[in-house]
Structure 1
């Protein structure tokens, strides 16, 4: 964790991935992120993966470093507490993150009536307010239809919730941008971040929208890298490696390392082309190239290829399971300074990640685990709402907080 946002206060009323990941990014850069949930936990409190005792590893992963208050949101008095927290005074407060429906007691209009300079960032499914999650949006934009083996027409759902993760990061960027404006003008803002718009805009930025209008849907091509040279190959010792050659240097280094320069030059002479000058031609003629590479990989052990690839400047990777990576890959996990081993609310002790960004030359602070549900209820009520112990006790007696 870092102290870049020390003093900033973000109130989070959100569930699942996009909203909580946004809050996580703020917390890991030093902001005070206060998450409110209904008593007993919201819809993501028991979400898988879970421990044998039913504690959500997902929940405690996305809520590291936050503070937690548990409120009975089913009663008007509880909803009033949530609104009061979101609109609590303070120059560095008034930042509210949510995925509650636009038309609810947490609407921006209702919050702005209490605090005109509030910045509300609302993560949504569809831009029109219709419900959606990452996987349904992904199906709608056609990515699963492009994914998978060329000889199997079934769509392939991706296990990585890309739009959710992008949504959390984009929401953090949007909130920070609005905060910078507020510091200059005093204006609040209502920012909506629909997953549907994130997906559509991302595909537009990547040229995919223009591509499909010009040439139609992209066909399935298995593990072949679109538009350049890249694919997985099996070595003599049955290891599976992926190589990618986009730049001329990557291409020439790959050919030299595999002793394929002459064989590839013969294909170039036959076709009257230069693979070195045009990465797209390597993709167009991959059916001619792949057999050469398959044979070259099949004749060499991975223990020979890996150091040779490194020496030759080849861009490569080895396929491994997540368990193999977590337990044996020093660059990713076992020796990565992003990770610290801490004890979590589930009672388990395991490595957890701090912020993905590294501030060069600045030490990382100790990583804070996720809170227990409602762990900071009394503290938050006293600090933000100025309630004394008697008032807080009465809220407990009435079952409004826990």
Structure 2
């Protein structure tokens, strides 16, 4: 089948029809085979693809990556898919068949990076252990993302991002005191694992280039990626026996930093710097607190946080969110409204920073998607192609790998490819 025409969206514009900037891609020439599905592995692939890596996504024949059917669908495909799978090519293989496994090996043999987020042992069951793949491609960098890692007593247990958030210590803290732990609202465990994986891939690429060309295995566990972001949780337990507990919207031990009610919503206020606290108290008409000697430092404010929070809430409750934002902005006190999707799409700062891009899908409609980060002056990320349909690129990729049209037709007739 022919490859659909890819629409280019740049990270320097908010429309899909603007010209492609003539700037080099940071990862141009890096070839990635992505064998993962859903979130963690594919988010890593998306990150590398945004900065120029050629990402070939191997999907199962039939339905493909389950993310295609997650959450809200348009024309039968998730709009989430349009973000997660941009800058990728889709090759559909039935990896239960030996011939499909042989094709996968052929693609991996020419790759710089392999991404997989299967349960440990899955690759080995297909005859694709790291040792076997490194015999085939000594420079291959293999990123393995799993619930509990490739070793340890829990390695064979199934693990999703939510489980990683629980074991990593995050879920214990995301609640109001005494109430049920809640989701962050997005798949934070998967995303953190993907970002740690991307960092690992970049370090391994650098090491391979600087120190002899050998590849290596990167082992990322979902819970460890979450745990790595838990700040002082363990040192505090080690030094003081203190078990940090849920604190709702407050930042324990840092004062004042909390969410405060307004007439029409909530505002987050971070008045925890010494000089910021004084300006905040002046703004709300409480110079008595701003000038109190025992509140000049954070330790004193923590001791009286209930009183301080109450004073701030009295002031915010009688005002709208915008009135609070205007007053605190003028006083140079960090504050922020709680944004919804509508707020983000209407916000001028998001637009000015090119964080809202209009992407033309292969189904023919336009959809607004998040822009590319981080912002890089010399090698900015771009959206070079829209998300593929299942198997859109199978023929083109296999032809590039050396298969003839007759061989491709035969493989399709056997159900090896789609």
With normalisation by structure 2, the TM-score equals: 0.85
Change (3 A) 1:174 1:368: same
Residues 1:208 and 2:233 aligned together: yes
- Pick aligned residue for 1:72 from 77, 94, 110: 94
- Pick aligned residue for 1:374 from 391, 396, 400: 391
**Deviation at residue 389 of structure 1 after TM alignment:** 2.0
Change (3 A) 1:238 1:352: closer
Q: Equivalences for 1:320-331 in 2 at 5 Å?
A: 320-322=339-341, 324-331=342-349
- Pick aligned residue for 1:61 from 83, 89, 99: 83
Change (3 A) 1:304 1:99: closer
Q: Deviations along 1:43-71, whole A, 9 cap, x unmatched?
A: 52444213155412232321111111111
Change (3 A) 1:116 1:361: closer
1: distance between equivalents of 2:374 and 2:44? 14
**Deviation at residue 134 of structure 1 after TM alignment:** 1.2
Q: Deviations along 1:101-136, whole A, 9 cap, x unmatched?
A: 442223212211212221111111102323211111
**Deviation at residue 374 of structure 1 after TM alignment:** 0.8
2: distance between equivalents of 1:353 and 1:399? 36
Which deviates the most, 54-63 or 131-140?
54-63
Q: Deviations along 1:250-297, whole A, 9 cap, x unmatched?
A: 2222122222222443xx35xxx2x23x22432331112122112222
Aligned to 1:193: 220
- Pick aligned residue for 2:370 from 335, 346, 353: 353
Residues 1:108 and 2:130 aligned together: yes
Decide whether the 8 Å contact of 2:355 with 2:371 is kept in 1: yes
Aligned to 2:315: 296
* 3-state SS of 1:144 partner: coil
2: distance between equivalents of 1:362 and 1:122? 27
Aligned to 1:226: 252
Q: Equivalences for 1:50-199 in 2 at 5 Å?
A: 50-51=72-73, 53-88=75-110, 93-103=111-121, 104=124, 105=126, 106-127=128-149, 128=151, 129-130=155-156, 131-150=158-177, 152-184=178-210, 185-199=212-226
Q: Which runs of 5+ in 2 are unaligned?
A: 1-10, 12-23
Residues 1:249 and 2:275 aligned together: yes
Q: Which runs of 5+ in 1 are unaligned?
A: none
Q: Deviations along 1:190-232, whole A, 9 cap, x unmatched?
A: 11111122223332xx111122332332233222222211112
**Deviation at residue 366 of structure 1 after TM alignment:** 5.3
1: distance between equivalents of 2:190 and 2:304? 36
Aligned to 2:7: none
Aligned to 1:284: 303
Aligned to 2:41: 19
Decide whether the 8 Å contact of 1:60 with 1:345 is kept in 2: no
**Deviation at residue 335 of structure 1 after TM alignment:** 4.7
Change (3 A) 1:263 1:280: closer
Decide whether the 8 Å contact of 2:25 with 2:380 is kept in 1: no
Aligned to 2:3: none
Decide whether the 8 Å contact of 2:26 with 2:380 is kept in 1: no
* 3-state SS of 1:356 partner: coil
Decide whether the 8 Å contact of 2:25 with 2:379 is kept in 1: no
Change (3 A) 1:256 1:264: closer
Aligned to 1:36: 58
Change (3 A) 1:281 1:15: farther
Decide whether the 8 Å contact of 2:147 with 2:159 is kept in 1: yes
* 3-state SS of 2:194 partner: helix
Aligned to 2:265: 239
